[in-house]
Amino acid sequence: MEQAVNTLFGMHILNEAADRFSLTKGSYKKLGDFENYVYEVEREGQSYVMRFTHSSHRSELDVLAELDWISYLVQVGVDIPQVYTSRLGKMTEVIHAGDSYFTASLFQKAEGHMPDYANPAEWNEHLFASWGEITGRMHKATQSYTPSIHHKRMTWEDDELLVNAKSYVLPGDEYVLERLNEVMTHLHSLPQGQDVYGLIHTDIHSRNFFVDNGRISVFDFDDCAYNWFIHDIAIPLYYALSWGVPERYAGNREAFAADFVQAFWSGYEKVMPLSRQWLQELSTFLKLRDITLYLVIHKKEDLQLATPRLIQWVNDIKERIRQNIAIVEIDFDLCRFDSSAG
């Protein structure tokens, strides 16, 4: 979190939110603070998740638009944590901090745990297929979604990181802007029909869902935006590769990527029809994620204080951007797709 925002946040904000949402004061367990402040809290002995979003990151209307979509997905039967209201029956409560404010919102706490990518009993094709299926269910539902408030979530190109990219690119790294322009030019050429484009999560990696007895529960919809459905397939693949190729692949990233996509797609296409031709666009969205991560890291992190692991990660990202290559290029001949579908 930026230092200017850190100075505004404190126990007084937490306690004010506790009053408005009837929470047990002092029952605050910090879960994260990268783009939002996230806490596990209690109400009448039950655990919930409270999120505080600073107005420099999202307006209250942006948050309301996110919560409206989550509520719709829950209403139509998508298995995700629901949103709870305050004492006044509001999904959001604005807590002022100087000339800015925090938007507080309360969520059901997902059951289970983050999947262990080092454990083959958890990190396997069964998980990848379930991951694909819940993603497909969200995409299928979003095709019939109409916002119930007079404010829509942003589109992919409204992302502040892309709009202000020049501000986050270091001297000597101007090639990042060149690559971004190339990617955006290509994306602008893609169709945006309701069958391929809509409001999606945009960040369904394995740190944004829990697994409980095989059931996946997706959370953290803060980055939801109007984007192509294939984006929500590229992001799981990108982070699955980033966590590391399982030992059984002996470092063969391409083989693991092919198996991951095949398993993910098998779950996805069970519930959501999308032409398999869209898989050819994975490379573009993988490149975009490298660029986006470069931008967000240089916006949020002081790399002079970074760990060697983070520095190596950033250097790998920069080198791929410089060479104009994706984190992986998939040989789709290695994917064992169902010949009756797609």
Which one is predicted more confidently, 14 or 333? 14
In which region does residue 213 sit, left (phi positive, over 0), alpha (psi from -120 to 50) or beta (all else)?
left
Question: In the predicted model, what is the mean pLDDT of residues 67-93?
Answer: 97
Mean pLDDT over each residue of the chain, to the nearest integer = 95
What is the model's pLDDT at position 181? 98
pLDDT number for residue 340: 53
Helix/strand/coil for 49 = strand
Assign 339 a pLDDT band (cuts: 50, 70, 90).
low
Mean pLDDT of 217-243: 97
Query: Does residue 244 surpass a pLDDT of 90?
Result: no
Residue 61, Cβ neighbours under 10 Å: how many?
Answer: 15
- According to the model, what pLDDT value does residue 304 have? 86
Percent of the chain at pLDDT exceeding 90? 90
Q: Percent of the chain, pLDDT > 70?
A: 98
- What CA–CA distance (Å, rounded) separates 207 from 113? 9
State the Cα torsion 1-9-54-85 to the nearest 10°.
Answer: 130
Give me the mean pLDDT over the 257-279 stretch: 96
Interatomic CA distance for residues 110 and 37, integer angstroms: 17
Is the pLDDT assigned to residue 158 strictly greater than 60? yes
How far is the CA of 24 from the CAs of 14, 19, 100, 325, in angstroms? 11, 9, 26, 50
Model confidence at 301, pLDDT cuts 50, 70, 90, reads confident
Q: How many other β-carbons are positioned within 10 Å of the β-carbon of residue 233?
A: 27
| C-alpha pair distances (Å), 78 with each of 105, 272, 284, 293 | 20, 13, 29, 29
| 3-59 pLDDT tens trace | 889 999 999 999 999 999 999 999 899 999 989 999 999 999 999 999 999 999 999
Alpha carbons 266 and 276: distance in angstroms, whole number: 11
Comparing 331 with 165, the larger pLDDT belongs to 165
* Domains by residue range for the chain, with CATH: 3-108 (3.30.200.20), 125-334 (3.90.1200.10)
142, pLDDT greater than 70: yes
Question: What pLDDT shows up at residue 335?
Answer: 74
Q: How far apart are CA 328 and CA 325, in angstroms?
A: 8
Tell me the per-residue pLDDT of 162-205, one tens digit each, with 9 for 90 and over.
999 999 999 999 999 999 999 999 999 999 999 999 999 999 99
At residue 284, the pLDDT reads: 98
> Which residues contact residue 168 at a Cβ distance below 8 angstroms, ignoring those fewer than 6 apart?
161, 294, 295, 296, 298, 299
